[in-house]
Amino acid sequence: MKKLLITFILIITSTISLFGINKSDSNKNILFGVKIAMTFSSSGDINDISEELSTIDNAKTIAYGSSIGLYTQIKIFSLYVRPELQYSAYDTNYENIFIANKRLELPVSLGIPLNSFLSVFTGPTFRYNVDQEVNDINIEDVKNKSTMGVHYGARLNFKKLAIDIRYDRGITKEETLLLSSNDISIGNIDQRPNLLSVGLSYTF
């Protein structure tokens, strides 16, 4: 988790230093703000299912969640770099199995303004799994807590307010092993995010 915080700060400071943005330019070239978002995610497959989970038959649902965070946006020529630091939580249901996920995320976007209102963006998303809970079933600790994905989307700007829609897909393998009461494997879930989110941001 500390690595994401350090990375967030380093991205901001190194971008400012690299492109020589000084104090006189900072008011128009560097923006700060807060954001919230609603997320909709296709749940991952349950593989290697034992008889205890046979009724699930790999059922998929839509997982709902939310995120809250802050961002800075740095203008570079006709482009912008926008690192965001956010805390996200979303839940998934597989019939009688309920999974709660909590993550710290660092999306870094490279954006292209198409006009004064609309821009498109893409970039990597770095994640750290803070916590994961499954009801009535034991789980093995996630071995790889730090994962990575890619995202792309579009943003509409209305002065200090902005609305964006983005798609985010995990590219790092991220599986959670489900265990019985005797700590015997009864299945594993592909937890790579496959997210569609709608966000609202406010620039200070």
What pLDDT, in 10s, does the model give residues 133-181?
A: 766 555 555 556 788 899 999 999 998 999 999 999 888 776 665 554 5
120 class by beta-carbon count within 10 Å (0-12 exposed, 13-18 middle, 19+ buried): middle
How high is the pLDDT of residue 90?
80
- Name which of 106, 89, 102, 110 is nearest 6 in CA terms: 106
- Name which of 193, 192, 199 is nearest 166 in CA terms: 199
What mean pLDDT do residues 42-61 have?
Answer: 54
Residue span of the structural domain in which 79 resides? 2-203
Residue % of the chain over a pLDDT of 70: 58
114: pLDDT strictly greater than 90 = yes
Counting runs of H as helices and runs of E as strands, what totals does the chain give?
2, 12
Q: Number of folded domains in the chain?
A: 1
**CATH code, domain carrying 186:** 2.40.160.20
Note the pTM of the prediction, 2 decimals.
0.78
Structure tokens at 45: 């497959």
